[in-house]
Amino acid sequence: MQEVSTPAELMNLKPNLYLEVCRQIEKDFTLSGILIDWSVDIQPKDMWSEVLSKLNDLLKNEPEALRNLLYRVDLDEKSISDALLENKQKDFLSELAKQLIAREIQKVLNRLNSNMG
C-alpha cells in the first residue's frame, strides 16, 4: 500500500478534540467487531496509517465487516461514490478514510455541542 499524506484537517485538530475523535473511531471499529488498539497518545500520522491499513484489510478480506463499519459510522455508499466521482480520486482507500474520519469529527462535534446546550 502506498504512503498517503495525512489530511491537514486531522493534523490541525485541537488536542482535546483529536483525542475524542480517536476514541470515537476506536469505539465504532470495536462495535463493528474490528479490533483497533492504539495508545492514547497516538500521533495523527500513525492514526491515519492505521485507519488506512484497517480499511485496506477490510476491503480485501472482510467486505461485510466494512459495510457494517460504514453503517455504524453513518457513511452511506452514495456519499462515498459521489465524493470519488467529484474528486476524480484515484485512491479509493484514502478517500474512504477521509470520509470516515470527517464523519467521526462531525459526530464528536455534534455531541460536544449538544452537551453545551
User: In what helix (H) or strand (E) does residue 9 lie, and over which residues does it extend?
Assistant: helix 8-11
Give the contacts of 93 (CB within 8 A, at least 6 positions apart). 1, 4, 52, 55, 56, 59
Query: Is 57 within a domain?
Result: yes
pLDDT for position 13: 83
Query: Is 2 within a domain?
Result: no
Query: Is 100 within a domain?
Result: yes
Between helices 15-31 and 92-116, what is the axis angle to 10°?
Answer: 110
- Give percent above pLDDT 70 in the chain: 89
**Average pLDDT estimate for 12-30:** 91
pLDDT, tens digit (0-9, with 9 covering 90-100), for 81-102? 776 676 655 678 888 898 899 9
pLDDT for position 2: 43
- Domain range enclosing 80: 8-116
User: Are 75 and 104 in contact, with CB atoms under 8 Å apart?
Assistant: no
pTM: 0.84
The yes-or-no verdict on residue 43 having pLDDT over 60 is: yes
How far is the C-alpha of 21 from the C-alpha of 88, rounded, in Å? 27
Query: Is 45 within a domain?
Result: yes
Query: Is 24 within a domain?
Result: yes
Domain count, the chain: 1
